[in-house]
Amino acid sequence: MFRVTCCCLALTLAAIGQATIQKVKDDSQQTKLLVMEHLWNEAQVNRDARTLDGMLATDFVNTEYDGEVSDKTKFLADIRDPHFNLTSLTIQDLKVSMYGDSGVIVGVYHTRGTYQGKPYEHIGRFTDTWVFTEGRWQCVASHTSLLKK
């Protein structure tokens, strides 16, 4: 009986230890993804398509608030578009959910800028899906929904 109790206790402690290690690993990956999100925003404001290119998977898909769907090439072309001038982009209310080597970030974004000389301001929700592949985090999908135009 004593051996059975000791074995059960050892297995329980091992399971708790493993869960703690996984939690620390998840927290570390969540932090990395949050940093990636902020770098993404900075790159957009600075029209830094090269940085964004490195963050996006080859088969990246972007769905805009108006239903327009674009691939990586089109998304990067839009960043380079001289008619598009993003002056500020902030994100808040972020939530990261981890699924093994994948992470999903949801939050609220607020953008300001001009398009073809006309000012705009958008407030909306976003969902970005990230996958750890080829030794780095890459965004495979992004979706936005407008809350206020």
Over the stretch 74-133, which tens digit does the pLDDT of each residue have? 999 999 999 989 999 999 999 999 999 999 999 999 999 999 999 999 999 999 999 999
CATH number at 68 reads 3.10.450.50
Mean pLDDT for 60-66 is 95
Q: Give pLDDT, residue 5.
A: 57
Q: Give pLDDT, residue 21.
A: 41
Please give the tally of structural domains in the chain. 1
CA–CA distance from 53 to each of 12, 28, 33, 62 (Å)?
45, 24, 16, 13
Q: Give pLDDT, residue 94.
A: 97
HSE, CB side, 13 Å, CA atoms: give it for residue 144: 19
Over the stretch 3-49, which tens digit does the pLDDT of each residue have? 655 554 455 545 555 444 444 445 889 999 999 999 999 999 999 99
Q: Give pLDDT, residue 27.
A: 83
For residues 24 and 138, the model is more confident at 138
Query: Which helix (H) or strand (E) segment is 60 a member of?
Result: strand 56-63
- The tokens for 140 are 């495979």
Contact criterion met (CB below 8 Å) for 123 and 148: yes
- Residues of the domain holding 76: 2-148
For residues 26 and 52, the model is more confident at 52
Q: Give pLDDT, residue 22.
A: 42
Q: Give pLDDT, residue 56.
A: 98
